Amino acid sequence: MATDETAVHADTSEKSVSAEEYTDAAILDIQSFSEYLSDELGLTSTSTYPSSPPTFIDLPEILSLSSEFHYNYYTRDERTVSTGEQTIVNIASSDQNVEFIKKQNKSPRSVILKIRSQPPPSLSTDSFLKDYAIAKGKTLINTSTDKIVFEGAIANSRFSTIILKDNQVDDTFYNEITGSVTFSDAYAKSDTDSQFMTNLTSQFFSPMAESSQTTSTIRKALSNSQPKGVAYAPADARFETIAEALRDVRFVEFGFSINNAVISNVVLGALEDRGNIYQDELMSVESDVKLIQDMYVAQASSYAVDSSEFELEMAPVYTLTLEDATLGKSVIDESSYPIGYYVEKTEIQAGADSEMSTRQLEPIIIDTYGDFNILDSDIRYGATYLYNVKVLYLTAYEASAIDPDGATPDEIVFAISMVASEGVKTQTVAIERIPPEPPQNLRFNYNFQDYSLDIFWEEPTNPQRDVVRYQILRRGSIEESFVLLAEYDFDMSTSKVVPLEIAPPEKIYQVRGPRKHYKDLDFKRSESYIYAMACVDARGLTSEYSEQVLVSFNSFKNKIVRKRISPPGAPKSYPNLYLKTDLFVDTIKSSESTRMRVFFDPEYYDVLKTNTAGEGKDSVKVDTSLRLISDMYKLQIINIDLQNAQTFDIAISDQTGEVADVPMTSATVKTIF
């Protein structure tokens, strides 16, 4: 009779193992092991039994999984409040459609998951499991999520499953980094004699390794730990920088099954090693595993075998017998068929006290199997999200249906359970690293009432809408550095970020909105100044310089004179990069010289410009040389004492050969230069 409520027990028993032979040197006859136990120990029942088998299920996973963070626009509470919006799922969308979805998305930020699945297994056309999965799969996922059996948690009554996920290892590394007195520069992998390594050796020396290892073992292990995912940063780095560099360490996770007879002993043995990164997690289950082991030892019998040690108890979603009328001409095959996805979502966020916290969020459940693009808009900016995509299968197997009340006799049935695979993980950091554009259209007007210079500007093109500061800068000439005149701060974020450039308090002006006017009261009509501006966004990222304008006052015309000396885009560290002037001196003075040597050492031998020829599918990219290096140069030498001059022609011939690819692994000074 078909039902969906019957408790079932999967039969995993094995055949008995034959008795081992035992040879007694004191007698000539060869006794069997059972005969020896009977003669020497007086045991009448000497049958041997197989050891209890650990049980596990290994279901196929998806082909590939990728994730990316999409930042749409800024909101003032983005670091403290998630959007709370629903997840959008698109079936078999192409990459072009994903880009279109990004542009049409109204959510301020989201994570895009791309799932590519394997084709379903080829079951026979008369397979009952396949027909049942297609007909009832969606309904079961939407109504029976409480009956999902997870692959990593399947074990019989004699085994327990432990899943370890470390939450403190990166804090340990961070404390060691900031606490080291010699850790002023970036950590070098070869620096095994640093104070940092000495601290680790003294604090994490393993007493269990005393007999077989030396105190330098952990030095050797950690001296090459950067390629394994552990990143280090200077001691004076901001916590946000170090926390981001160490995010990967938080995703070290694995599960395993342990026999209940020794589970407490195994955990206690692991806790003896102080260098164990899972020490805190194991200590949290120390009392639980001790209770499990004590209960099992108290109930176990060394001379009896309980059937529960060979059985699995699983929650079925459907059961039927071979005589069931619903089976018809279909065939029950012990197999698995995919019906959807169960996506676990974990959020890792740094609090106000810089402590990292982990929060398990509601899973994303998809009731259809296939290729998907998932747009998860319930995202908090600055957090790290870990997604574990599990495939949901309907698995059919032979089982024993047992009525706990004993009202109906036990019977052999075929059961179908909804099982989730181990899963494929991906992680995404919800951080946007696009710096803003500088302000544009700088305008200047002299105010004759207070003898000051009024500066006006327009907002830059900023799709992220995240500009929260304006910087007004000035310098006297191109030989000088820019000086900050003022910084307008209109950052209304609920959780503000300390910017990378911290202005003096007397230069900061708190304003209610993006003010686009500044009055320079120190402007002198007898002097000329170069003005520029920059923007700072909510992440503390600064823009490049705006256009640089040389401003002076013409006393004869009684008005301001403006001259643009540099287009926008110059980096703050190189303000003269795009100046419209010759930065190099064309004359060299020398005396008492009798010989001159000329060296030609350009940074580039050639500069290529890529152009597109043709249209549509027939278009091709063609590289054209700009020929910035001439074949002929002239050098003029002038004797200022005799007022004589002579010009020399310098011809340059290209004797370079073909470009040779030199692998970095075999590169030497000779091969590079």
Domain CATH for 452: 2.60.40.10
Q: What is the pLDDT of residues 185-209, one digit of tens each?
A: 333 333 334 444 444 444 433 333 3
- List the single range of 19-23, 344-348, 626-630 with lowest mean pLDDT: 19-23
Residue 8 has pLDDT above 70, yes or no: no
Domain boundary at 241, 266, 299, which? 299
- Residue linked to tokens 């490049």: 544
382 with 488, same domain?
no
DSSP SS3 for 460: coil
20 with 146, same domain?
yes
Domain boundary at 566, 595, 623, which? 566
Residue 503 belongs to some domain of the structure: yes
399 with 469, same domain?
no
90 with 147, same domain?
yes
Q: What is the dihedral of CA 149, 154, 157, 162, to 10 degrees?
A: -110
CA–CA gap between residue 347 and residue 360 (Å, rounded)? 6
Residue 599 belongs to some domain of the structure: no
385 with 324, same domain?
yes
What average pLDDT does this structure show over 58-80?
89
Residue 157 belongs to some domain of the structure: no
Q: What is the pLDDT of residues 477-505, one digit of tens each?
A: 999 999 999 999 999 988 888 887 889 99
Q: Is 648 exposed, middle or buried (0-12, 13-18, 19+ CB in 10 A)?
A: exposed
| Boundaries of domain holding 544 | 440-566
495 with 448, same domain?
yes
122 with 212, same domain?
no
- What integer pLDDT is reported at residue 342 of this predicted model? 94
Are 126 and 331 within 8 A, CB to CB?
A: yes
531 with 387, same domain?
no
- Residue linked to tokens 């017998």: 321
Q: Which of 632, 604, 67, 51 is nearest to 305 (CA)?
A: 51
Residue 341 has pLDDT above 80, yes or no: yes
Higher pLDDT pick, 404 / 572:
572
Q: How far is CA 493 from CA 79, 212, 483, in A?
A: 8, 56, 27
CA–CA gap between residue 334 and residue 326 (Å, rounded)? 17
CA–CA gap between residue 109 and residue 69 (Å, rounded)? 8
Residue 508 has pLDDT above 50, yes or no: yes
Residue 17 has pLDDT above 60, yes or no: no
Q: What is the pLDDT of residues 437-448, one digit of tens each?
A: 999 999 999 999
Higher pLDDT pick, 470 / 207:
470
CA–CA gap between residue 506 and residue 521 (Å, rounded)? 15
0.75 exceeded by the pTM?
no
Residue 577 has pLDDT above 70, yes or no: yes
Q: What is the pLDDT of residues 289-311, one digit of tens each?
A: 888 888 888 887 766 666 666 66
Residue 304 belongs to some domain of the structure: no
DSSP SS3 for 250: helix
279 with 259, same domain?
yes
Higher pLDDT pick, 435 / 96:
435
Higher pLDDT pick, 344 / 398:
344
Residue 275 has pLDDT above 70, yes or no: no
Cβ neighbours of residue 507 closer than 8 Å, sequence gap 6 or more = 484, 485, 486, 487
Question: Which region, left, alpha or beta, applies to residue 629 given φ > 0 means left and ψ of -120 to 50 means alpha?
Answer: beta
14 with 143, same domain?
yes
Residue 239 has pLDDT above 70, yes or no: no
Q: Is 517 exposed, middle or buried (0-12, 13-18, 19+ CB in 10 A)?
A: exposed
Hey, what are 647's tokens? 């010009």
Instruction: Grade residue 453 by pLDDT with cuts at 50, 70 and 90.
Output: very high
Outline where 204-330 has alpha helix (H): 217-222, 239-245, 263-271, 279-284, 286-299
Residue 306 belongs to some domain of the structure: no
DSSP SS3 for 651: strand
Residue 178 has pLDDT above 70, yes or no: no
- What integer pLDDT is reported at residue 34 of this predicted model? 56
- What integer pLDDT is reported at residue 408 of this predicted model? 76
Domain boundary at 535, 566, 597, which? 566
Q: What is the pLDDT of residues 414-427, one digit of tens each?
A: 889 999 998 999 98
CA–CA gap between residue 493 and residue 76 (Å, rounded)? 4
DSSP state of 449: T
Residue 594 belongs to some domain of the structure: no
What average pLDDT does this structure show over 9-17?
40
Long-range CB contact pairs, 599-607, < 8 A, 24+ = 600/652, 602/629, 604/628, 605/629, 605/654, 605/656
Question: Which region, left, alpha or beta, applies to residue 440 given φ > 0 means left and ψ of -120 to 50 means alpha?
Answer: beta
Residue 307 belongs to some domain of the structure: no
The H or E element containing residue 356 is strand 356-366
270 with 212, same domain?
yes
Number of structural domains in the chain: 4
Winning range, highest mean pLDDT, from 99-113, 274-288, 542-556: 542-556
Residue 9: count other Cβ atoms within 10 Å of its Cβ. 19
Q: Which of 336, 412, 331 is nearest to 11 (CA)?
A: 412
DSSP SS3 for 528: coil
Residue 350 has pLDDT above 90, yes or no: no
Residue 430 has pLDDT above 80, yes or no: yes
Residue 126 belongs to some domain of the structure: yes
- What integer pLDDT is reported at residue 480 of this predicted model? 93
1 with 57, same domain?
yes
